[in-house]
Amino acid sequence: MTAVNFQHNYCTLCRPRHRIATMSSVENHPERNVIRVQLTQNVVLSELTLSERLELEPLLTVVDCQKGDFLLHQGVHDMEQYFVLDGILKRVVANQQAKEMILRFADERDMETSYAAWRLGTPTPYSIVSVTKARVAKLPLPKWVAFMEEHPAIKKSFEYYVMRLMSEIMAHTITLHMLDAPGRVQRFLRKHPELFDRIPKKELASYLNLSAETLSRLKQSGKI
């Protein structure tokens, strides 16, 4: 496999789209009651008390995204925290030739962040993009950090989850080199069975470092 330099390149793939996503506060959103329930189910926010939720809610903006919309661009310093309400996002890094590597997917109840880069004072090393039509609740990362500083238990839980995500990404990267094509697909099915039929096969193949044709052939042959 040819090594590709992905580090901090801001490429054509990462240029902002001109489409304007729909944005609203939680309070003013027509589906605010549904959104409030979804926020309580989030992997990080589920531990918040009622008073903490009431404190956080005014800081949040609800964003409705279309497939392919960029929430975060690789190589920038302005960062936000995202809580996924509906749909699927991908964390992706790209080089100047628009060669991309998908690091992970995030669906409902999950979150996305560039917290490590913000803490280190470095540009974002990846983009966050909608794989499907999606809805997220977001806030500027400095505001999220300030909120956590006031609530140490939430900060501890959040930082543990960030470290867990980093560990999972490292494990996935290792499997790209250690497992054959059927093994990579089978591992994904074991770990994320709910996502297999929801992610476009081209995106899934890219994540597994396969061609879409190879993924289709494995499925047709009964190897996965």
Residues with Cβ within 8 Å of 210's Cβ and at least 6 positions away in sequence, in order, are: 181, 184, 185
pLDDT of 26 over the 70 cut: yes
Q: Give the CA distances from residue 170 to residues 52, 103, 147, 185, in Å, rounded to whole numbers and listed in that order.
A: 33, 9, 29, 17
Confidence of residue 19 (pLDDT cuts 50, 70, 90): low
Condensed to tens digits (0 to 9), the pLDDT of residues 84-110 reads 999 999 999 998 888 899 999 999 999
Give the domain ranges of the chain. 12-151
More confident residue, 7 or 63: 63
Q: Give the CA distances from residue 89 to residues 68, 71, 84, 119, in Å, rounded to whole numbers and listed in that order.
A: 9, 9, 8, 22
Superfamily in which the 12-151 domain is placed by CATH: Jelly Rolls (2.60.120.10)
Average pLDDT of every residue of the chain = 91
pLDDT of 10 over the 50 cut: no
pLDDT of 27 over the 50 cut: yes
- Taking residue 205's Cβ as centre, other Cβ atoms within 10 Å add up to 21
Confidence of residue 15 (pLDDT cuts 50, 70, 90): very low
At residue 96, the pLDDT reads 81
Both tokens assigned to 119:
């803490």
Q: What are phi and psi of 63, to 5 degrees?
A: -120, 125
